[in-house]
Amino acid sequence: MNEQRSLTVSQVNNFIKDYLDNLPTLRNLYVRGELSNLKIYPGSGHIYCTLKDEESCLKAVMFGGATKLKFRPADGMRVICRGRISVFLRDGVYQLYIDSMEPDGIGSLYIAFEQLKAKLEAEGLFAPEHKKPLPKIPFRIGIITAPTGAAVRDMINVTGRRFPAAKIIIYPSLVQGAEAPAQLIKALKYMDERKLADVIIIGRGGGSIEDLWAFNNESLARAIFACETPVISAVGHEIDFTIADFVADRRAPTPSAAAEIAVPDANELKIKFENVQARLSSLLKRQIENLRRQLKLLADRPVLQNPLASFDDKRMNLARLEEKLYGVFDFPAMRKNVNDLADRLSRIENIILERASQKLKLQSEKLLSLNPLSVLERGYSAAFRLDGTVIKNASDVAAGERFDLRFRDGVVRAQTVDKFEINVNS
């Protein structure tokens, strides 16, 4: 084997890389295939994948692809990729370095639109229960759109024609291009936070899907959802639909229709007010007539026509009633009987009190006779220990014990010196 003719692995890979890089056909080619083994790195946005068909596969990479694409690629999606074929020297693998990627058979913007629509719908941003009602008679209309063009003129004209009393507040903003979503969000927050309008119209005139793409922005959709002021989306023509249309409180097919939705027709309001005024006037007239009839009925009553006659009738009735009562009852005799009864009750009361007093006196004397201390009044005395108990017998007292002798008029402290036994039988 000739070692001088041998090549290193790196030399071989570099030779193949240089050869492939210099082939015009491989420097800018389109490859159609199905995505598989898809990996997207959040930090860098790099996309690594494999393109395959029924018979073969090709490794591919798109640096920063996640930030460049309008849609989000997924395994199984058929795409058309534009790029170049080159060799990754470290692994000795040739692969497709992708510059752009489009869905095969359908536009990337449409894919991105459907993906964002499905995402926000799943989060509930399109739910009817979150839609705020529009004010019936708004006096301040906020319009966020381009300051020039047919759209803003149409909204001003329609609003002024239908409801001249409304004040129109215009916040100019870009409605197309990469910077448009940020300006639209700023305008929306400015009007909402300061409560400048009763209802806000956000939109623009018609155009291609690329022209209307600013209204398919996720951040703008979330700003519309968070807005406390009711929002009407008026983007493009009747056939155009954007994410803003779905998340707004009301969708208008055109900017002119948005103005018609936002404000009532002053002539129709005038007719309604006139009808209400006529009904109220008729109702008040009927009520007044009813009250007048009631007042006349009351005024025609005899008691109001001649009040003294009514009092005379009452006096006559009272006099007749008094005569009847005197005819039935003998009031002098009844008065004498009442007096006699009172005298009898007084005498009975005195007798009962006297008997109760005598009975109380007898009970008091009886209690006094039973009082053991009453014998002290006859010259006797009673002996008590120092703790207050009665000494009944001489044997109950020890020699030298101190005790009390209670007399009629006081107590004497005593002490035993000698004890003498008394023989009652001798």
Q: What is the chain's pLDDT, residue by residue, as a tens digit (426 residues)?
A: 556 678 889 989 899 989 898 898 899 999 988 999 999 998 899 999 999 988 899 999 999 998 888 888 988 888 999 999 999 989 899 999 999 998 887 667 788 888 899 999 999 999 999 999 999 999 999 999 999 889 999 999 999 999 999 999 999 999 999 999 999 999 999 999 999 999 999 999 988 888 899 999 999 999 999 999 999 999 988 888 999 999 999 999 999 999 999 999 988 888 988 899 989 989 999 999 899 888 888 777 776 777 777 677 777 787 777 777 666 556 566 667 777 787 888 888 888 888 888 888 888 777 766 666 666 666 777 888 888 788 878 777 887 888 888 887 888 888 887 766 655 454
Q: Decide: 150 and 256 in contact? Cβ < 8 Å.
A: no
Superfamily of domain 7-106 in the CATH hierarchy: Nucleic acid-binding proteins (2.40.50.140)
pLDDT at 426: 41
Domain residues of the chain, as ranges?
A: 7-106, 114-264, 375-415
Q: Are strands 57-62 and 47-52 parallel, antiparallel or unpaired?
A: antiparallel
Question: What is the C-alpha separation between 257 and 253, in angstroms, rounded?
Answer: 6
Per-residue pLDDT tens digits for 50-61: 999 888 999 999
Question: What is the C-alpha separation between 287 and 113, in angstroms, rounded?
Answer: 63
Note the pTM of the prediction, 2 decimals: 0.53
191 closest CA partner among 223, 149, 147: 223
The pair of structure tokens assigned to 415 is: 């002490």
Q: Which fold has domain 114-264?
A: Rossmann fold (3.40.50)
